[in-house]
Amino acid sequence: MIARRPSARVVSGRQRVVIEGITPLVDGGRYPIKRVVGEVVVVEADCFADGHDVLSCMLQYRHAEDGKWSEVAMRELGNDRWIASFAVERIGEWRYCVTAWVDQLQSWAHDFERRVDPEDLLVAAKSGADLIAGAAARAPTKEERKNLETWARSLREASADQVKQIAHDDALLALAVRYAARTGAVRTSLDLRIIVDRERARFSTWYEMFPRSASDTSGTHGTFDDVRKRLDYVSGMGFDVLYLPPIHPIGRIRRKGKNNAVTGTTEDPGSPWAIGAEEGGHKDVLAALGTLDDFKSLVEDARAHRIEIALDIAFQCAPDHPYVAAHPQWFRWRPDGTVQYAENPPKKYQDIYPLNFESDDWSALWDELRSVFEFWIDAGVRIFRVDNPHTKPFRFWEWVIAEIKREFPDALFLAEAFTRPKVMHRLAKLGFTQSYTYFTWRNTKEELIEYFTELAQDPSREYFRPNCWPNTPDILAVSLRNAGAPAFRLRLLLAATLAANYGIYGPAFELLENAPRDDVSEEYLNSEKYEIRHWDLSRPDSLAPFISSVNAIRHANAALQSDWSLIFHTVDNSELLCYSKRVADNCIVVVANLDTRYAQSGWVTLDLDALDLASGTPYEMHDLLSGARYQWHGMRNFVRLDPALTPAHIFRVLGEPRPAAATSLTV
C-alpha cells in the first residue's frame, strides 16, 4: 500500500486484497508516531478485495525487541474502513502492520445463509465441509479438532431440510475461522513504527534556572550545591523537571559583557552558551559551579525530590573551545585565515563558532557529538533541551536521537526551535520528544483557539508534542513586558492547563521580572545570560504559591496530563476563553479572562455531549483554584472573572454521565 511500486508479475497474482489509507501514518510511514507507555494506538485502514467475498483483517503489533507479533482482529466500520487498537505497554520502539485476506469460511457462511435451492444447499454444504475439515486439521487441541470434524461430517451427511440449521452455528464457525487457512493473505509492505516514551514525555512541568544565580548570598557565584538547596523550593512549586542552561566552561575570547555588550570585562561571567575554554568543553563542568561529582549529587538529590535534571545541549563553541585547536576541520575558515563566527548579517556573534556539518570529517564530528549525550547520560541525565536544533542538519538529529534512544529509550529530547512551522515539524518527526511552541506569542482568544486546536486535533499530533513556555531567558514575551501579576498569572495558567507539558524560566517568572532591554527586542534587561543575578525568593509578591496551586491541580487531575482531549466551548465575550479536557471520568473545564485589567463576564455555552454530561440534570462545577462549588444547569451558564482576584476558574465537573448508548469513544 505504501510508496513501493510492485513488480506485479513477481508477487502472487492470487492475492486479491488491497490495504490502503492506514492511519495513523506519518509521511507514508517514513516517520514513527509517538505514544507514552500504557497508551492505546487506534489503527484504521481501508481493506477490500474484488468481488463480494468476506474479508478478515488483523492488526499486528510487537515491541521491536520481540520476535513475535501479537494480533487483534479489526472490525469493519462501513465503507471498507476497518479499525482495531492495542496498548503499548513498554517503552522503546514498536511496530504495527495490517494483514488481510479473503476469508473463505466466512464468505461461505455468508452465502450459505442466503441459499434456498435444496440441491444448491447440498452442494454448497460439501464445499463448506471441506473448508471446515481444513481448519480442523490446523486446530491445536484434540477436542477442537474433533468438534470441527464432527461438524464437517454432519454438513456432508445432512438432508436438505436439516442442512441450514446445522450450518448455522456461530460458535463452531468462529472456531473454524480461527484456524482457517489465510490463503492469499496480504500484508502492508512497511512495518509502521511507534516510539513509546515514558509518561514524562506527555506530562511534564519544567522549571529553568541559572545555577550561577542560585546563591543566597548576593554577589556570589552560585554552585550546584546552591541548586540542591533550591530543590525544596522547586519541588514545592510542583515542578518535576529542573532544566539548567549549559554548565560548561565559558569561553574567554571575545566574551560578552552585561546586556550583550560586545566587549566584556574580566569580571563578566560570560554567556553559558559560549561553550568551551582552555580547561574544557561540552563534557566538562565550569569550575565555579563545582565538580562533576557535585553535579551527580545534584542529579541524585533532585531524584529524591521527584525532579529530573535536564541539561542544555548547545552544539557550538567559544573561540577557545578545545575542539577548535584539536579539530580545525570541524569549523568553517574564512579567506583571511580566521574561523567563521556565527552571524546573521549585519549581526555578528563573535563569541560563538558554529560547527561545520558540511565538513569532510562530518562522520567523526557526529560521533563526537553523540558522545556528548552519552557522557551526560553516564552522569545520570535523561532529559536534554537541545539549543537551536534547526541550525544543524536534520539528518544528524535523526541519527543521533535514534542512536541514543536505541540504548536509552528513556532519554527525552526537547527541541528549542523557534522557527518556521515546517522546520519545527520536521524536527518533531525525526525524533524530538517535545517541541517548544508559538504559545509564547499567542495571546488573543482567536489565536489561542486556532493554535491549540491545531496542536490537539491536527494529524501532526501523532508526532508533535507541544511544550509551552510563557517566558524563556531569550524571550520576555510581549504579554509580560512591563506587565503586572495578573498577566503573569494568566499566562502561567493558560500554559499549565492548555498544555500537558509546560515550563517557566524562573525565578524571573515568579518574581515578575518584566523590564525589557530596549523598546524592540524580546531580551530581558540585565539578562542572566550575561550576568549573575540575585533573586529574593521570599518576596511577598512572588507567584510561587499561585504556581504551586496550579501545578497541584495538574498533578491531581488526569485530564490535564494529556493534550488530545482539548476542545473549546463558546463564550459570548471575546475576552473570555473556555476549554475542557477530559480523561475517563476526570473532566476539567477552564474559563479564563484574557483581559488582565478589567473584570469580564459572559455566558458560557458548554458542549455537554462532548463532555458526556446528561443535558437534563444539574451538575456541580468545583473550582479547584478557589475551592468554590457552583451548581450549573444545562448548556448556558454565567461567569464573571476579575483579574485582580484570579485569571480563571479551573472547574472539575461533577455530573451525571449521559446514557451509556450515547457515550462517545474516548481515546
Residues 334-373 that bind a copy of itself (CB under 8 A): 334-336, 338, 343-346, 348, 357-359, 362-363, 366
Tell me the three state secondary structure of residue 604. Answer: strand
Residues 6+ apart with CB under 8 A from 592: 490, 493, 494, 576, 577, 578, 641, 647, 648
Does residue number 391 form part of the binding site for a copy of itself (CB under 8 A)? yes
Whether residue 276 contacts residue 321, with contact meaning beta carbons closer than 8 Å, is answered with: yes
- Dihedral (CA of 161, 163, 164, 166) sign: positive
To a copy of itself, the closest distance from the beta carbon of 13 in angstroms equals: 4
How many whole angstroms separate alpha carbon 434 and alpha carbon 194?
15
Nearer to a copy of itself among residue 4 and residue 142 (C-beta): 4
Does residue number 153 form part of the binding site for a copy of itself (CB under 8 A)? no
The Cα angle at residue 26 between residues 429 and 84, in degrees rounded to 5: 130
Among 93, 221, 258, 399, binds a copy of itself (CB under 8 A): 399
Does residue number 51 form part of the binding site for a copy of itself (CB under 8 A)? yes
The C-alpha R_g of the chain, in whole angstroms, comes to 31
Would you give the DSSP letter of residue 289?
G
Scan residues 296-335 and list those touching a copy of itself (CB under 8 A). Answer: 334-335
Does residue number 15 form part of the binding site for a copy of itself (CB under 8 A)? yes
Contact pattern from residue 263 through residue 292 relative to a copy of itself, giving x for each residue in contact according to CB under 8 A and a dash for the rest: ------------------------------
Scan residues 66-85 and list those touching a copy of itself (CB under 8 A). Answer: 79-80
Would you give the DSSP letter of residue 333?
B
Reported as type and span, the H/E element at residue 547 is helix 544-556
Could you list the beta-strand ranges (E) of 406-468: 412-416, 434-436, 466-467
Residues 6+ apart with CB under 8 A from 581: 497, 559, 560, 562, 563, 565, 566, 587, 588
Does residue number 114 form part of the binding site for a copy of itself (CB under 8 A)? yes
Among 52, 161, 165, 304, binds a copy of itself (CB under 8 A): 52
Among 118, 328, 421, 459, binds a copy of itself (CB under 8 A): 421
Among 164, 390, 461, 555, binds a copy of itself (CB under 8 A): 390
Neighbours of 57 (CB within 10 A): 23
Q: Which amino acid is at 524?
A: Y
To a copy of itself, the closest distance from the beta carbon of 168 in angstroms equals: 14
Does residue number 13 form part of the binding site for a copy of itself (CB under 8 A)? yes
To a copy of itself, the closest distance from the beta carbon of 388 in angstroms equals: 9
To a copy of itself, the closest distance from the beta carbon of 34 in angstroms equals: 16
Q: How many angstroms separate the first and last alpha carbons of the chain?
A: 26
To a copy of itself, the closest distance from the beta carbon of 398 in angstroms equals: 6
Judged by CB under 8 A, the stretch of 19-27, 132-140, 304-312, 458-466 that binds a copy of itself is 19-27
To a copy of itself, the closest distance from the beta carbon of 243 in angstroms equals: 23
Pick the catalytic residue: 44, 144, 368, 416? 416
To a copy of itself, the closest distance from the beta carbon of 537 in angstroms equals: 39
Among 71, 76, 93, 111, binds a copy of itself (CB under 8 A): 111
C-alpha dist (Å) from residue 21 to 18, 50, 462: 10, 17, 16
Tell me the three state secondary structure of residue 14. Answer: coil
The Cα angle at residue 189 between residues 185 and 191, in degrees rounded to 5: 110
Does residue number 140 form part of the binding site for a copy of itself (CB under 8 A)? no
Does residue number 93 form part of the binding site for a copy of itself (CB under 8 A)? no
To a copy of itself, the closest distance from the beta carbon of 41 in angstroms equals: 19
Among 255, 426, 533, 554, binds a copy of itself (CB under 8 A): 426
Q: SS3 helix, strand, coil % of the chain, rounded to 5?
A: 30, 25, 40
Nearer to a copy of itself among residue 267 and residue 336 (C-beta): 336
Nearer to a copy of itself among residue 219 and residue 345 (C-beta): 345
Judged by CB under 8 A, the stretch of 28-36, 239-247, 631-639, 655-663 that binds a copy of itself is 28-36
Among 75, 90, 126, 168, binds a copy of itself (CB under 8 A): 126
- Greatest CA separation found in the chain? 105
How many whole angstroms separate alpha carbon 449 and alpha carbon 526?
34
How many whole angstroms separate alpha carbon 631 and alpha carbon 621?
6
How many whole angstroms separate alpha carbon 413 and alpha carbon 131?
53
Nearer to a copy of itself among residue 420 and residue 539 (C-beta): 420
Asked about 416 being catalytic, the answer comes back as: yes
To a copy of itself, the closest distance from the beta carbon of 346 in angstroms equals: 5
Would you give the DSSP letter of residue 391?
G
Neighbours of 473 (CB within 10 A): 19
Pick the catalytic residue: 103, 308, 387, 595? 387
Nearer to a copy of itself among residue 2 and residue 583 (C-beta): 2
Reported as type and span, the H/E element at residue 423 is helix 421-430
To a copy of itself, the closest distance from the beta carbon of 185 in angstroms equals: 13
Whether residue 210 contacts residue 250, with contact meaning beta carbons closer than 8 Å, is answered with: no
The Cα angle at residue 141 between residues 138 and 143, in degrees rounded to 5: 110
Scan residues 159-198 and list those touching a copy of itself (CB under 8 A). Answer: 183-184, 190
Nearer to a copy of itself among residue 86 and residue 112 (C-beta): 112
Does residue number 28 form part of the binding site for a copy of itself (CB under 8 A)? yes
| Active site residues per annotation | 387, 416
